[in-house]
């Protein structure tokens, strides 16, 4: 009813102006709906961001654990303490199921 009295006043002047008025009112309503939707989506995105950060942190921790296990495996392969792994030491290590599983994960 609020818009009707304004529309009736404008409609008396010209049907073209009345059509422009209806278009203007519709445009304003769509724009307002767009702004409200953007605000809701922005808030939802902000709420989801900590979950993404937590996932990234969890992945980083998993990668560090894998790296630590691989480092420990390499240290265990170096049986003579030379800080290098000979082909014989490597071959002997591959006989272990644990070592093969670790190499498959990497």
| Residue pLDDT, tens place only, 55-95 | 889 999 999 998 898 888 888 888 888 888 888 888 888 88
pLDDT exceeds 80 at position 100: no
35 pLDDT higher than 90? yes
Q: Which residue has the higher pLDDT, 103 or 19?
A: 19
- For the record, the structure tokens of 56 come out as 């990234």
Residues in the chain: 106
Contact 19, 26 (CB under 8 A): no
* H/E run at residue 26: helix 15-77
Under the banding of pLDDT at 50, 70 and 90, the label for residue 105 is low
Q: Indicate the pTM of the whole model.
A: 0.46
């Amino acid at each position: 009813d609020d818009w009707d009295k304004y529309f009736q006043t404008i409609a008396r002047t010209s049907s073209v102006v009345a059509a422009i008025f209806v278009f203007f009112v519709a445009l304003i309503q769509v724009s307002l709906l767009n702004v409200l939707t953007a605000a809701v989506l922005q808030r939802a995105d902000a709420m989801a961001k900590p979950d993404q950060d937590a996932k990234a942190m969890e992945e980083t921790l998993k990668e560090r654990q894998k790296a630590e296990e691989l480092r420990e495996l390499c240290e265990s392969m170096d049986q003579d303490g030379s800080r290098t792994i000979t082909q014989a030491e490597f071959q002997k290590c591959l006989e272990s199921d644990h070592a093969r599983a670790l190499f498959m994960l990497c």
